[in-house]
Structure 1
Amino acid sequence: MIDPVIVKQGASPVVLGFPHTGTFVPPEIEARLNENGRLLADTDWHVDRLYDGLLDGATTVKANFHRYVIDANRDPAGVSLYPGQNTTGLVPETDFDGVAIWKDGEAPDDADSAERLEAFHRPYHAALAAELERVRQEHGIAILYDCHSIRSHIPFLFEGKLPDFNIGTNLGTTCAPEFEAAVESVVSLAPGYDYAVNGRFKGGWTTRHYGRPETGIHAIQMELAQSTHLAAEAPPFAYDEEKAEKLRRHLQDILERIERLSFSARM
């Protein structure tokens, strides 16, 4: 068994969360996935690489396990993030296209979910909570920037093409307005890209759970369309260096702005 989470501590007020870049699936769970499930298609492909080195001193908290094992960005109680809309649950039964990922008769039950919650979900969030508190104690403020990506066309989840940048703050409740504005100010001026604020993606459970501006912890989710940095949104989901380098300039600008703003806010 590998460690469920990797933490790299830094001295910045900014903490980067990576709940969906992991691809580890324990062998006994992998054996229950069907051919479609074993593609691991709903991974946030290369997102950790995309952000690597963009902000010196940023703390990173990365889940090693795949979201098909258990989704680290879902409410542990199983409550839907988007009631009435198609989505995937704490332990997904389907992929983002609504297609089954488990062999017949092998879909996880409540006992499986409880076991995976203890082995994977809780350790990830224990580490993330500890780092946010450490950073807050050091700086008087902590900024959780939750890093995500998804295919730009998924009819099961949303109509049409997803914008390139999708900022989620649960309708402005998870961070002070100046942090949301700082991120929007970058993406709104990024040539060749489009964006949405609290559109289809308003921030997952992580953003909503930790984002408590009144306590000094602010949270923002960034959901990137994978067309911005992949050669194709299909296997083998290859990283496109040229696309990624262009995108990374804007992502670096975002992180540097929220870091500067966090230093101003604590004074």
Structure 2
Amino acid sequence: MSTRATPSPKDLIHTAIWHEVPEPDNPFAARAAYCRGYDVYGAMAGHARWIEMLWLLLRSELPAGPELDVLEALAVALANPGPRDGAVHAAMCGGVGGSTAASSLMAALAVGAGRSGGAREVHDAMAMWRRCGADLDAWRAHHAAAADEPVDVWPEQAHIPGFDPHGVSTPLPVRQLLAALDRLGAGPQTAWLHASVEQARAAAGLPLAMCGVAACVFGDLGFSPDEGEMLYLLLRLPGAAAHALEQKAVGFKQFPFYKLELDPAATPPVPAPLIAEKEAA
């Protein structure tokens, strides 16, 4: 990965990411392709890690520190949010219904893109980190200011981005991941959050969520909120794909449904004639 090529100023496609040299007998086929100057097929394939390729697509140089190991560890943790996650469940619905692969993945992207545990929440949390740093009082002020802003359609449950609005205590996987990333040397934000996770929970009034860990680490790695949002969408797709394929294979009769807990006080009574008909049957 030491040989680099310099793009020609006559290139018609203006990108600093990718450069191709065409075959002499076919201008539509590449004889060589370079990512940030590295020969993808002649040098990277068979030698570079996938995480290095991912990094180079977003950055002009490979890092000299632990950043690649940190990003790879985070990618492992995010790869499969599990069938309880809304994005994965959406892909499973696509799979069991016979949808195409693209449709299942688009369903996962759509459901996993929002501000409730999705990629946009990661974007918002990263913006908060940039503005407030490790100042818990600044977090509260940022949250209060955001709560006063008008919403476009439906008001969402207000909470500091990166924290679980339905949780009570910080889940063990969240604490384990935070500890592992801190141990790898993710950066100062991650180290502070690992040491102060309970203080952060008290300040937010809610426990830290997995998307909050991702936002913190993406910020430490130098990614922008837009890049973090895109990475969060991308890194969670493998699990959605795997569960969609599994459900397509086993069929709808084994599709997992979740028990609905109904509030008796909010459930309208069954009309007496229907009860009589049911008993007679």
TM-score band, normalised by shorter chain: under 0.3
| TM norm structure 2 | 0.25
Name the larger-Rg structure.
Answer: 2
| TM norm structure 1 | 0.26
Q: Which has the higher strand share?
A: 1
